[in-house]
């Protein structure tokens, strides 16, 4: 497809109002979004539950795809030193360039060149008692003309603080100052870092937080008080706000006395503190949720690992045209994964996974938004979490109103080769169904009342060429099912290099 002339595919039945926000100022886009939301509230269909509002930011699938890129780069660059002992200062960074070409169901061809420059520093004092860490990021998203979601084809993001925290280790401090090692060790963290509860299914987000962890040889107990990083997008695209403001309070308990298994349980409260830029007197957007989860990770027999987590969600939300009375949230989700590590130098592995997240048949416009969300009753069965799982490269749905099955395998085909020894090749197959066939999923182009969403085939290659240079490539092909009126195959191609310094 020629640069600047992507093919647009939008299929929608009935009278529809479409908006194009490219080239508009942020204020104009906000007014446009408010108009679109007003039309939706009045009952006039728009291309998405909050089409104009959603066009101001990347859709869920694109955000999940970018998270997948970051997870892959982090895995390749996971070589920053730990705390250790003594007093020292470490620093470094990496530059990565990724090329992305994909079809999102609206534009048949979007092209992006993503440049990321990260720098980090760590100071360890008092034989590991005190740890200071900083990591900053500066990014450039270079779209082909007309391909950007918000009309900004050359977008500079940053400089941003990705991670920045102080961590105190009580056990290390006791040793450093010649005191008796306490029976219960404690670690206090203050600042911005990735926070995960359980296996990361319910919560896996970078948060500004205070966390206190108490550990013995039998258990690890963590208490959390946190808030979202304001610049990160919120899951409700129908509300118009410039900063994400959600608070978290929770606790997690892990049992560590078992040799091959680590059960866990956690509770988490999330409170909505957003300030709407264009408040509506006839629509409330607050979403306050509570999660309780149970699960375990470990090894069943040698080489056969597992991850399992069940999460129940309650709380209150406001559905479509709701402002006087809130809906009651009753939702749940489940993740179960088995992975077998084959013996031998090829580091071969095979895995299967099942993900379920409840949906609501009354959520016809969006599984997460208020406008276009729950209607007809006052029970919201749609699961909305803050965790992360790989749900495919091309389709990349949010796990809400979703059944997903995955099977995958990977290996290092030439483990003894001097050049190709660190080359990993792998593939995953995904199958997707709705929980409620009339309910919405995170891809608004799934516009038909059918449960079959489709299937996807992903292939990938990761190659650590030298200790400082790594290359990755991924290809995804999504084959839409009966839930889509447009069943054109969607592809996603990404390739990139990372240089560490």
Residue range 215-271, pLDDT digits in tens: 998 999 999 999 999 888 888 888 888 889 999 999 999 999 998 999 999 999 999
CA dist 263 → 183, 198, 252 (Å): 22, 9, 11
Least confident range from 41-55, 101-115, 262-276, 321-335: namely 41-55
Tell me if 228 sits within 8 A of 251, measured CB to CB.
no
Q: What 3 state SS string does 72-117 have? A: HHHHHCCCCCCCCCCCEEEEEEEEEEEEEEECCCCECCEEEEEEEE
pLDDT at 52 over 80: no
Confidence of residue 450 (pLDDT cuts 50, 70, 90): very high
pTM: 0.86
Domain positions in the chain are: 1-56, 59-500
Tell whether omega for the bond before 479 is within 30 degrees of 0, i.e. cis.
no
Average pLDDT of the segment spanning 390-408: 94
CA angle centred on 445, ends 53 and 108, rounded to 5°: 95
CA angle centred on 496, ends 492 and 499, rounded to 5°: 160
Alpha-helical segments (H) within 379-439: none
Rounded distance between C-alpha atoms, residue 56 and residue 58, angstroms = 7
Average pLDDT of the segment spanning 307-316: 97
**What's the pLDDT at 473?**
94
HSE, side-chain direction, 13 A CA sphere, residue 321: 11
User: CB burial class (10 A; 0-12, 13-18, 19+) of residue 315?
Assistant: buried
pLDDT at 355 over 80: yes
Dihedral (CA of 316, 320, 325, 328) sign: negative
**What's the pLDDT at 9?**
54
**What's the pLDDT at 75?**
67
Give 234's contacts (C-beta < 8 A, 6+ positions apart): 228, 241, 244, 246, 274
pLDDT at 13 over 60: no
CA dist 53 → 7, 277, 441 (Å): 22, 12, 17
Percentage with pLDDT > 90 across the chain: 61
pLDDT at 22 over 50: no
pLDDT at 61 over 90: no
Tell me if 335 sits within 8 A of 353, measured CB to CB.
yes
Least confident range from 26-40, 193-207, 245-259: namely 26-40
Q: Is pLDDT larger for residue 280 or for residue 42?
A: 280
* Average pLDDT value for the chain: 85
Average pLDDT of the segment spanning 449-464: 95
Q: Is pLDDT larger for residue 123 or for residue 29?
A: 123
**What's the pLDDT at 26?**
44
Domain at 59-500: CATH code: 2.40.160.100
Q: Is pLDDT larger for residue 157 or for residue 276?
A: 157
**What's the pLDDT at 196?**
94
């Amino acid at each position: 497809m020629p640069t600047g002339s992507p093919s647009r595919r939008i299929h929608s039945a009935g009278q529809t109002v479409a908006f194009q926000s490219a080239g508009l100022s942020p204020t104009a886009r906000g007014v446009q979004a408010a108009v679109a939301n007003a039309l939706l509230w009045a009952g006039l269909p728009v291309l998405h539950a909050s089409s104009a509002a959603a066009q101001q930011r990347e859709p869920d699938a694109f955000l999940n795809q970018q998270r997948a890129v970051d997870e892959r780069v982090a895995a390749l660059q996971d070589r920053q030193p730990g705390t250790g002992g003594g007093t020292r200062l470490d620093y470094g960074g990496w530059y990565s360039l990724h090329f992305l070409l994909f079809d999102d169901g609206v534009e048949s061809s979007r092209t992006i060149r993503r440049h990321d420059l990260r720098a980090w520093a760590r100071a360890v004092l008092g034989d590991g008692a005190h740890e200071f860490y900083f990591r900053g990021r500066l990014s450039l998203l270079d779209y082909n003309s007309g391909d950007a979601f918000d009309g900004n084809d050359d977008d500079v993001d940053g400089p941003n603080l990705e991670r920045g925290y102080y961590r105190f280790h009580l056990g290390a401090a006791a040793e450093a100052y010649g005191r008796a090692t306490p029976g219960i060790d404690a670690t206090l963290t203050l600042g911005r870092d990735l926070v995960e509860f359980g296996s990361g299914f319910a919560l896996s987000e970078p948060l500004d937080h205070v966390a206190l962890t108490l550990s013995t040889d039998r258990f690890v107990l963590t208490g959390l008080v946190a808030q979202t990083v304001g610049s990160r997008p919120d899951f409700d695209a129908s509300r118009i706000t410039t900063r994400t403001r959600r608070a978290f309070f929770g606790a997690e308990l892990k049992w560590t006395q078992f040799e091959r298994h680590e059960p866990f349980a956690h509770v988490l409260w999330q409170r909505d503190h957003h300030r709407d830029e264009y408040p509506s007197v006839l629509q409330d957007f607050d979403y306050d949720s509570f999660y309780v989860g149970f699960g375990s990770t470990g090894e069943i027999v040698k080489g056969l690992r597992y991850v399992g987590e069940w999460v129940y969600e309650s709380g209150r939300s406001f559905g479509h045209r709701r402002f006087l009375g809130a809906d009651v949230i009753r939702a749940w989700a489940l993740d179960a994964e088995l992975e077998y590590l084959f013996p031998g130098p090829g580091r071969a592995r095979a895995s299967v996974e099942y993900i379920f997240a409840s949906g609501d048949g009354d959520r016809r416009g969006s599984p997460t938004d208020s406008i276009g969300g729950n209607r007809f009753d006052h029970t919201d069965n749609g699961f909305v979490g803050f965790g992360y799982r790989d749900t495919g490269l091309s389709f990349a749905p949010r796990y809400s109103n979703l059944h997903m099955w995955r099977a995958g395998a990977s290996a290092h085909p030439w483990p003894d080769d001097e050049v190709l020894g660190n080359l990993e090749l792998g593939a995953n197959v995904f199958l997707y169904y709705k929980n409620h066939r009339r309910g919405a999923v995170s891809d608004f182009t799934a516009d038909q009342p059918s449960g079959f969403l489709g299937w996807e085939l992903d292939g990938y290659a990761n190659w650590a060429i030298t200790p400082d240079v790594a290359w990755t490539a991924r290809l995804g092909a999504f084959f839409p099912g009966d839930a889509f009126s447009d069943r054109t195959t969607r592809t996603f191609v990404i390739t990139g290099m990372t240089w560490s310094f």
